[in-house]
Amino acid sequence: MFGIRTTLKIGAVVFGLSALLLLTLPALFLDLLALDGQSAPLQWSMRMIGLTLVALAANMWLVAGSASDANVTKAGVVMAVVASGLGVLTLAIPTELGWFSIVYAGVGFAFGLNYAVCVIRARIRP
């Protein structure tokens, strides 16, 4: 298990890479999710999500590097919910699940579990 700060930084990198993919190759991302990669509205939506992920990744990195321990723990709680929610939403995708969707959901659940364990550890330590 990584600590919350390390997990935030690793998550920031993962979200940053996802943001680059969403901003530059939204059709590929949609195809990997077995959605209509040729849909202009869906591509636009993926780019919007990508831009939002840039902001989230930057904030995660900044919190990990400069926030107090109490605020890092609070961020860990938020990210445990968000990462797990990403896993759930990925599995609920309105199409057949493929290898990418399952892996993507697994990454979300792995981050969610790591954040949850780290938050629990942080709260039981004196």
Residue 120 pLDDT = 95
Residue 123 pLDDT = 87
> What are the pLDDT digits (tens) for 70-120?
999 999 999 999 999 999 999 999 999 999 999 999 999 999 999 999 999
Range of the domain at 26: 4-124
The tally of domains found in the chain comes to 1
Determine the residue type at 15: F
- Taking residues 12-31, report their average pLDDT: 97
> What are the pLDDT digits (tens) for 50-72?
999 999 999 999 999 999 999 99
Closest among 124, 121, 1, 115 to 60, alpha carbons compared: 115
The pTM of the full predicted model, rounded to 2 decimals, is 0.90
Contact between residue 118 and residue 7 where contact means Cβ atoms under 8 Å apart: yes
* Straight-line distance from the first to the last Cα atom of the chain, in angstroms, rounded to the nearest whole number: 19
**What b-and-e string marks burial along 27-62, b requiring 16 or more CB atoms within 10 Å of the CB?**
bebbebbbbebeeeebbeebeebbeebbebbeebbe
- Taking residues 15-37, report their average pLDDT: 96
Residue 107 pLDDT = 96
Residue 2 pLDDT = 73
